[in-house]
Amino acid sequence: MTGRFVEIRDGVHVLREPLLDVNVTLVVGDGAALLVDTLSTAEQATALAAAARAVTPHPLTLVNTHHHFDHCFGNATLATDPPRPVYAHEATAGWLRDRPDELRHLAYEEMRAEQPALAAELARTALLPPTHPVHTETALDVGGRRVVLHHPGRGHTAGDLVVHVPDADVVVAGDLVEQSGPPSFEESYPLQWPEAVAALLRLTTPETTVVPGHGDPVDAAFVRAQHGQLADLAWLIRAGHTGGAPPERVAAEAPFGARAALVAARRGYAELDGTA
């Protein structure tokens, strides 16, 4: 069961998928709509399409915030019949175009212990690469509403996109911001992540609603607090690397818990060593 869309601002709706707590955002304009992220499997994407149709009959343009399976593996179901444009950062587009077998394998390995049925479905999901790569910024007209896609820099991945809906004062952050758990650092750039979130914050006001990749919508104050934790983590990684400390020592002192911080420290050391 995928769930239903709930309107959080005028013409901006969020669906929270219960299995992995993923947010999908639907922006409805006059005769057109934009869907941000497409979930994990054909079955989830089919239910997502029905949930979107319950809100609007308008044709959809799709956006992928990044290349992880829970945000883009539904592309082929939602964008092929009839064909729909799919926007994503060029790095995300490259992953889906050039490395589909690797993406399916990574998704399977991530889920096989905890969600074996989902893992099996992920391993056989058809992947559709984005049709419209974004380099830095692209503005879209969604039925008379201006929606801007921003690449704020490397953070959660090399290809994060932020979706800004200025007339509703909404920013869709993807996994650059997390509410229901710690950030995920497996393919991250923890030394650059604070700057990416700082760029996101420049799109906000005190009243802005920010839709995180997972969990409840938040405000700019929440994002500023998470930015501070990410900046503290980056400082600890740099200091530990300079002092020759093992990543485990950095993780013991870092925000977000030892498990997440250890992954972050190893990724940060790889950044500093030029191997990330």
The answer to whether residue 259 scores a pLDDT higher than 80 is yes
User: Among 175, 152, 161, 138, which residue's Cα sits nearest to residue 65?
Assistant: 161
pLDDT digits (tens, 9 = 90+) for 79-135: 998 999 999 999 999 999 999 999 999 999 999 999 999 999 999 999 999 999 999
> Contacts by 99-107 with C-beta closer than 8 Å and gap 24+?
100/127, 100/129, 103/67, 103/69, 103/127, 104/69, 106/69, 107/40, 107/69, 107/73
Check residue 3 and give its pLDDT: 87
Question: Is the alpha carbon torsion for 130, 103, 81, 142 positive or negative?
Answer: negative
Total number of domains in the chain: 1
CB contact at 8 A, 138 and 145: no
pLDDT digits (tens, 9 = 90+) for 63-85: 999 999 999 999 999 999 899 99
* Tokens (6 digits) for 68: 């992880």
In the 3-class helix/strand/coil scheme, how is the chain assigned residue by residue? Answer: CCCCEEEEECCEEEEEECCCCEEEEEEECCCCEEEECCCCCHHHHHHHHHHHHHHCCCCEEEECCCCCHHHHCCHHHHHECCECCEEEEHHHHHHHHHCHHHHHHHHHHHHCCCCHHHHHHHHCCCCCCCCEEECCEEEEEECCEEEEEECCCCCCCCCCCEEEEHHHCEEEEECCCCCCCCCCCCCCCCCCHHHHHHHHHCCCCCCCEEEECECCCEEHHHHHHHHHHHHHHHHHHHHHHHCCCCHHHHHHHCCCCHHHHHHHHHHHHHHHHCCC
Neighbours of 1 (CB within 10 A): 8
pLDDT digits (tens, 9 = 90+) for 138-196: 999 999 999 999 999 999 999 999 999 999 999 999 999 999 999 999 999 999 999 99
**102 Cβ contact partners less than 8 Å away, ≥ 6 residues apart:** none
User: Per-residue pLDDT averaged across 53-64, rounded?
Assistant: 98
User: Residue 2: pLDDT band by 50, 70, 90 thresholds?
Assistant: confident
User: Residue 1: pLDDT band by 50, 70, 90 thresholds?
Assistant: low
Q: Whats the size of the chain, residue-wise?
A: 276
Structural domain boundaries enclosing 33: 5-273
Name 219's bridge partners.
Answer: 209
55 burial level (CB within 10 Å; 0-12, 13-18, 19+): middle
CB contact at 8 A, 29 and 23: no
* Tokens (6 digits) for 81: 């019949």
Check residue 276 and give its pLDDT: 85
pLDDT digits (tens, 9 = 90+) for 220-246: 999 999 999 999 999 999 999 999 999
User: CATH number, domain at 114?
Assistant: 3.60.15.10
Place of tokens 């650092």: 185
